[in-house]
Amino acid sequence: MMKPESFWLDTAPAFSGVSPLPVEGRADVVVVGGGFTGLSAARTLAKRGITVRVLEAGKVASEASGRNGGHCNNGLSHDFSGVAARFGVERAREMYRAFDGGVDLVEKIIGEEGIACDFIRAGKLKLAAKPAHFEKMRRAQEVLAREVDADTEIIEKADLGSEIGTNRYEGGLLYRRSAMMHMGKFGVGLAEAAARAGAIIHQNTAVTAIDRLPGGRFRLTSTRGTIEADQVILATGASQNGPFGWFRRRIVPVGSFIIVTEPLGKERAASIMPGRRTCTTTQNIGNYFRMTADDRLVFGGRARFAMSNPTSDLKSGAILRTTLREVFPQIADCRIDYCWGGLVDMTQDRLPRAGSHEGMHFVLGLSGHGVQMSTYMGDLFARKIAGDDVANPWRDMEWPAVPFHFGKPWFLPFVGIYYRYLDRIS
- Domain 7-417 part of CATH 3.50.50.60: yes
Instruction: Label the pairing between strands 26-32 and 225-234.
Output: parallel
Q: Please list the residues that pair with 207 across neighbouring strands.
A: 222
- CA dist 366 and 253 (Å) reads 11
Would you place residue 410 in the very low, low, confident or very high pLDDT band (cuts 50, 70, 90)?
Answer: confident
Residue 309 has pLDDT above 80, yes or no: no
Residue 297 has pLDDT above 70, yes or no: yes
Q: Which amino acid is it at 96?
A: Y
Residue 347 has pLDDT above 90, yes or no: yes
Mean pLDDT across the stretch 290-310? 85
- CA dist 282 and 169 (Å) reads 10
Mean pLDDT across the stretch 280-295? 94
Mean pLDDT across the stretch 191-214? 98
- CA dist 12 and 377 (Å) reads 24
Q: DSSP character for 32?
A: E
Q: How many residues does the chain have?
A: 426
| 8 Å CB contact between 321 and 334 | no
Q: What is the DSSP string of 310-348?
A: HHHHHHHHHHHHHHHHHH-GGGTTPPEEEEEEEEEEE-T
| 8 Å CB contact between 345 and 364 | yes
What is the model's pLDDT at position 255? 84
Mean pLDDT across the stretch 106-127? 98
What is the model's pLDDT at position 284? 78
What is the model's pLDDT at position 304? 66
pTM of the model: 0.96
Per residue in 321-333, pLDDT tens?
999 999 999 999 9
| 8 Å CB contact between 295 and 261 | no
What is the model's pLDDT at position 303? 60
Mean pLDDT across the stretch 180-208? 98
* Mean pLDDT computed over every residue of the chain: 94
pLDDT-above-90 percentage for the chain: 85
Please tell me which residue, 91 or 305, carries the higher pLDDT value.
91
